[in-house]
Structure 1
Amino acid sequence: MNSRKIYAGFVIALLLAALLLSRHIDPENKRIRQHLTYNTDVEDSSLSVAAGTFSTRLPIVSIDTEGQIIPGKPEQGERVRNMKNSYIRADMKIYEAAGELNTLSSNPDTESQIQIRIRGNSSRTFDKTGYLFKFTKEDGSDRELPVMGMERDSTWVLHGPYLDKTLMRNYMWYNLSGQIMEWAPDVRFCEVFINQEYQGVYVMTEQISVGEGRIEVSKYDGKAGVSSYIVCADRESINDVQYLDNFTSYAKRINGRLEIKYPGTSKLTPELTEYIGRDFSKFEKSLYSYDYDTVRYGYQKYIDVDSFVDYFIINEVTQNTDAGLYSTYFYKDVSGKLKMCVWDFNNCCDNYMEEQTPMSGFFMKDRPWYYMLCKDEEFTEQIISRYRELRRGILSEEAVTADIRDIQAYLGTAAERNFEKWGYSFLPENDLLTEDFRKIGSYEEAVEQYETRLLRRMRWLDEHIEDLRFYSHESKNKKFNH
């Protein structure tokens, strides 16, 4: 009997070790990083942005609207939150040849009708806008297609870096997050033409949605009163969306509201909306209770703690000012635990428009949900341990520096072409950063500022990450503890 117990214990120990190891194995090889794999040996030297003579080693996306204006740009004085989203029909061609330059005179690799609109919040007001589009069939129904080596889907985002003059923040941090977390949007650089006019370097980005290769949870069957779901904390809008009646919103602990992203509005019933609100509130009520850190009643019953830890670290390292407030995504399989997903690094690494982000100090500890999570000593210790581990690998100074320089070298002439179009944004009067001393005069200066800030931030965290223990110490949190 004893030998059987010893054997069983040994097997369980091996399984636990494998589980722990699987979290910490560097999954770099599972994610295709375009700047290391696609057309890296193809010489790209032409600065022409004219449709007839244009060539690039990056994929090309060409959109023909037949003269229609793509909707979504606010009128003078119009508030973005008061806009209603609408789409137009257009035609898209994608050129993504391997081993040779892409041109608009080549045969397209993908050709489809699309529905398209301008997307974003503050970014809608930028001269270079981002777009949300859906591949569609002749009858207008969704059409799923693979794009640039990414999994097939119907809905995609074309992110147009404008505030981010390095062009690389979203591309780099979605890729790094995809190596650290269970899932992050896949991305590819491309260059875009609209009605034969050059628009610059864009980042083709997977939308946060349910599907193979995206967030892989059980799909809603349209019948049950329960479902997997995706929700997002963001600014309120008057578009056709459904908000959660959840505990945190009711208690006014967030500035915006939680919007249900999946299942979509066409599938939501009052019963299903109520279920998602109640299910999410279970986590919140446990978090804001005196039992928040207990095994039996605490938050750990409801969330994937690893996911919340990684989200904290990524956004604290980058000082991503919106994280935990806006563009903050949660997802949950109907039979699983709540997880987090990163989105939008446009403002990170001291790129917030309104004011300079202080280089030192922690900010995620004060964000909704994390305000209570960081009162738990166990959660804090997990952040410290995971941060140290990542700094020895994916987030080491050598790895991050190599990433930045490799991406800059890969973009090369494409970045020059982009600023043939948008170079006026470097003029002080056109720079969106409000403080004069932060205005950036060139692409090279933008990359240097980004790299310097990121390295300084990580060095500060190296020295101060243990200070997080102060926020979870019993002497500080007596009134919150059972």
Structure 2
Amino acid sequence: MKYKLISAATLLLLLCFAFAVSSLGEELLKRSIQHDEESAVMPGVYIETENSSLPVITTTFQSDGLMQQNSSSVNAVISVRENGEEVLCHTAQVSYRGHSSMEFDKKQYKICFTDENGTEDKTVPFLGMEKFDEWALNGSYLDRSLMRNYLCYNIAGQFIPYTPDARYCEVYLNGEYQGLYLAVETVARSSGRVDISAYKNGNNALSYIVCADWNDEGKSAVENIAKSAMIYPEQSSLYVVYPGKEKLTDTYKSAIANNISEFEKALYSQGFADLSNGYRKYIDVDSFVDYFILNEFFQNADAGDYSTYFYKDAKGKLCAGPVWDFNSALGCDVDTDLPYNSFVMTNKPYFKMLMKDSAFVEKVIARYKQLRKTVFSEEYLLDFISDTEAFLGEAIMRNNSLWGSRMYGEEIQKEIKLIPSSRNPDNYDDAVRALCDFIKRRGEFLDEYIDTLRQYSHESAVKKYNR
């Protein structure tokens, strides 16, 4: 009998693959999903502002020429009613929120509950979610199916820690119906949100949350290497989310920048894949794998560039997440008709280099195939959409009686009009059908081509100092 010797390179690849598969999590996370709850009803959220005043939007131009819109806050009382019964009544501050969505006719809101002294009150249970003070009310105006964010958050929440909870509600402002909204937990440090160690002045152990997002001179930007090296898009920067401005010192901010830059130097170096001193030394690899898969499957074109969060506990490594904002996912990007049969995450900051490591690629492939049998299965996703639509029921008609003329057909608001115009649905049923069709085609494409991700870690693609 003749024996063939396995080359060292082949042996290393096999060992990396075995390690990748063995370290993947098997069990899904528990998550309370609104439409699955036995006593689920559609709540009404009633916002009564002081003297019926509304937030004011101010427009400025930054030094980079980008237009920046900000909203003032107004005092309000927010009440929640379920089956005609008031279950919450609390003081709050209300403002408009969003970036491009500031231009939408159907505004998005940020609500911040306050106590009798006007300071934030983190003890408020809102729509069955964990107690806190701040939530976003997403109008699902760009997404004509009204389901993308709800679907994506609830799928992500079954395998990605600290995914924001999300609940539907119908909103009334000063007695006037505003439509169907999705109340979403904002990203913040809390035992019920991103459960990392609290900041302590003078403590050298770093605990923080950062976000890559649109340039905003009013936020605390991190001077990291990736920004100066133009690895991020010109219109995007990394900002400190936690600690907040009131606690963030220059020293701590510099320490955060240094910590992130150390990871970036390791990742964008010749020895980036070294098991001891490469990128693994600084990040929770599995969190980056799951972040990649979630946003790749849902083809979230903004992920990696904008609305992209990272967090680090004092005793842990840098993690990717929580996930945020899927308005433009699943074929709903305004400016670009992204084909369902293309990859979107392989050229993103950090992930472009991670995909050059065969061990990381093998993890992605194995994890995708694992999740495709559960939360990413076509049957599960389509049933989820069908059940959600049934739960929304007449709320869809009430919402569309107010906004439908500006969401569907020829009179659609220009800010949400998809290009080319043939992509815009004529009605709600068309929007849901397009969502389901995209999911089917996306899954079929990834099933057939997920293994081709190995091309990114092939020797020909991994060149010295290649970004």
**So what's the TM-score if we normalise by structure 2?**
0.89
Q: Does 1:436 align with 2:436?
A: no
Partner of 2:283: 303
Partner of 1:227: 206
Spell out, residue by residue over 1:397-423, the C-alpha distance to the aligned partner (whole angstroms, 9 max, x if none). Answer: 111111111111111111111101111
Alignment of 1:140-151 (within 5 A): 140-144=118-122, 145-151=124-130
Find the aligned partners of 1:276 and 1:167 in 2 and give their Cα distance: 37
Residue 152 of structure 2: SS of its match in structure 1?
A: helix
Q: Does 1:396 align with 2:377?
A: yes
User: Deviation of residue 480 (structure 1)?
Assistant: 4.8
Q: Does 1:334 align with 2:336?
A: no
Aligned partner of 2:45: which letter?
V
Q: Does 1:154 align with 2:156?
A: no
Find the aligned partners of 2:58 and 2:399 in 1 and give their Cα distance: 21
User: Deviation of residue 427 (structure 1)?
Assistant: 2.6
Partner of 1:25: 27
Q: Is residue 80–residue 121 contact of structure 1 (8 Å, CA) maintained in 2? A: no
Q: Does 1:472 align with 2:454?
A: no
Structure 2 CA distance for partners of 1:138 and 1:81, relative to 1, 3 Å:
farther
Find the aligned partners of 1:194 and 1:118 in 2 and give their Cα distance: 12
User: Deviation of residue 475 (structure 1)?
Assistant: 2.4
User: Deviation of residue 109 (structure 1)?
Assistant: 1.2
Alignment of 1:256-267 (within 5 A): 256-267=236-247
Residue 158 of structure 2: SS of its match in structure 1?
A: helix
Find the aligned partners of 1:22 and 1:320 in 2 and give their Cα distance: 23
Q: Is residue 229–residue 333 contact of structure 1 (8 Å, CA) maintained in 2? A: yes
Aligned partner of 1:137: which letter?
D
Partner of 1:54: none
Find the aligned partners of 1:83 and 1:139 in 2 and give their Cα distance: 28
Partner of 2:161: 182
- Residue of structure 1 aligned with 2:433, choices 448, 466, 469: 448
- Residue of structure 1 aligned with 2:103, choices 125, 129, 132: 125
Residue 146 of structure 1: SS of its match in structure 2?
A: coil
Residue 410 of structure 2: SS of its match in structure 1?
A: coil
User: Deviation of residue 205 (structure 1)?
Assistant: 0.6
User: Deviation of residue 74 (structure 1)?
Assistant: 5.3
User: Deviation of residue 38 (structure 1)?
Assistant: 5.0
Q: Does 1:216 align with 2:195?
A: yes
Q: Is residue 179–residue 402 contact of structure 2 (8 Å, CA) maintained in 1? A: yes
Structure 2 CA distance for partners of 1:275 and 1:450, relative to 1, 3 Å:
same
Spell out, residue by residue over 1:35-72, the C-alpha distance to the aligned partner (whole angstroms, 9 max, x if none). Answer: 111545xxxxxxxxxxxxxxxx3011100113211233
Q: Is residue 81–residue 236 contact of structure 1 (8 Å, CA) maintained in 2? A: no
Residue 181 of structure 2: SS of its match in structure 1?
A: strand
Aligned partner of 1:200: which letter?
G
Partner of 2:446: 461
Q: Is residue 63–residue 93 contact of structure 1 (8 Å, CA) maintained in 2? A: yes
Aligned partner of 1:146: which letter?
P
Aligned partner of 2:411: which letter?
E
Q: Does 1:64 align with 2:48?
A: yes
Q: Is residue 211–residue 241 contact of structure 2 (8 Å, CA) maintained in 1? A: yes
RMSD across aligned C-alpha pairs, in angstroms? 2.0
**So what's the TM-score if we normalise by structure 1?**
0.87
Aligned partner of 1:25: which letter?
E
Q: Is residue 225–residue 271 contact of structure 1 (8 Å, CA) maintained in 2? A: no
Runs of 5+ unmatched residues, structure 2:
1-18
Partner of 1:50: none
User: Deviation of residue 23 (structure 1)?
Assistant: 2.3
Alignment of 1:42-441 (within 5 A): 57-65=41-49, 66-72=51-57, 81-96=67-82, 102-103=83-84, 106=85, 108-144=86-122, 145-239=124-218, 241-255=219-233, 256-341=236-321, 342-425=323-406, 426-431=408-413, 432-441=417-426
Equivalent pairs: percent with the same residue? 40
Q: Aligned pair count?
A: 435
Find the aligned partners of 1:374 and 1:129 in 2 and give their Cα distance: 38
The worse-fitting range, judged by mean Cα deviation, of 468-477 and 221-230 is 221-230
Q: Is residue 171–residue 178 contact of structure 2 (8 Å, CA) maintained in 1? A: yes
Q: Is residue 116–residue 134 contact of structure 1 (8 Å, CA) maintained in 2? A: yes
Residue 133 of structure 1: SS of its match in structure 2?
A: strand
User: Deviation of residue 153 (structure 1)?
Assistant: 0.4
Q: Does 1:35 align with 2:73?
A: no
Find the aligned partners of 1:225 and 1:382 in 2 and give their Cα distance: 33
